[in-house]
Amino acid sequence: MSEPISIERRGAVQWIVIDREERRNALNERVAAGIATGLDLAEADRSVRAVVLTGAGTKAFCAGGDLQPAADGTPFTIDAADPRHYVAKLLKRMDACRLPLIARINGHALAGGFGLVCACDMAVCTDNAMLGVSEVKVGLFPMMILPYLLRILSYRRMMELCVTGEPITGRDAVAEGIVNYAVPAEDLDAKLDWLLARITDKSPTGIRLGKQALGKIREMSTESALEYAQFMLANMARTQDAREGFAAFAEKRSPQWTAE
C-alpha cells in the first residue's frame, strides 16, 4: 500500500503533500497520521522555517472525509474503547505547530479539507477552487471542524455555509478574509514563493515563541492575556535572535538568525 503523504524539503520550507489524487486527496486516519509526522519532522529540524500543506494534482486540496461506505479510515466512526478521534488529534497537532503553517489550496477544499485550511496559519488559493462544508447534504454537520471555522469565519457566514452546504470560490474567500491570497492556478506557486520569502527571512525564534503565545492568548481573558504577554515579551527579549535583531538594526545590516 502506497503512502498517502509525501514529505519534501524545499530549501527552508518543508512540504507535506496529501497524495491520494485518485480519491481527491480525501482525509483518512493514515493521511492524518502522515501530516502529524510531517509536522514532527519539520519541528525537529531547526533549519526549517515554514511548512506548506497541499494536495497532489490540480483538482483537490482535500475533499474531506472519504464518503465511500467501506472507505479506509472513514472519519464517521469512532472506537468506543478509544474515543480520541483522529481528526481531533490532527487539528490539535496543527494547533501546536510552532512553525508557520501555510495551506497551498491547489483545488477544492471541502468539509474536513476546509477544516484543514482553517487550522493553518495562512492560505494561498487558486481563485476558482471551491471551499465549503457540504456535510448537511448527507445528513451531517461539520462537527469536528466547528472550532476552527469559528476562528476564521464570522458567525453568520459560517452558519450560512453549514446549513446550505453551498461552497464559495477562492476569489470570494479572499474577499471575506478566509484565505490570504487567491490567484489564477498558473500563478499559485509564484504567489506562495513570494509569501514564503517574506516569512523565512524573519526571526525563527520570534515566530516560534509568538505562535506559542498566540495559541494561549486566544483562550484567555483580556486581563490574563496582557499579564501573559508581558512575561512572554520579556523572555523573548533575552533570546539570541532578539539580541541579533537589535544589533543588526543598530548596525544597519541584515540579521543573521540562529533560531536560538
pTM: 0.92
Residue 171 in this model has a pLDDT that exceeds 70: yes
Asked whether the beta carbons of 220 and 62 are under 8 A apart, the reply is: no
Q: Quick one: pLDDT at residue 182?
A: 98
User: Cβ–Cβ contacts within 10 Å for residue 92, how many?
Assistant: 12
* 8 A C-beta contact, residue 26 and residue 63: yes
Catalytic residues: 135
CATH of domain 5-200: 3.90.226.10
Is the Cβ–Cβ distance between 30 and 23 less than 8 Å?
no
The pLDDT tens digits for 27-73 are 999 999 999 999 999 999 999 999 999 999 999 999 998 765 455 55
pLDDT tens-digit series, residues 73-121: 555 555 555 557 889 999 999 999 999 999 999 999 999 999 999 999 9
Per domain, the residue ranges of the chain are 5-200, 204-251
* The predicted structure's pLDDT at residue 66: 73
With vertex at residue 170, the alpha carbon angle to CA 200 and CA 218, rounded to the nearest 5 degrees, is 55
CB-CB neighbours of 209 under 10 Å? 19
Question: Can you tell me the distance from the alpha carbon of 71 to that of 26, in angstroms, rounded to the nearest whole number?
Answer: 10
What 3-state DSSP class applies to 237? Answer: helix
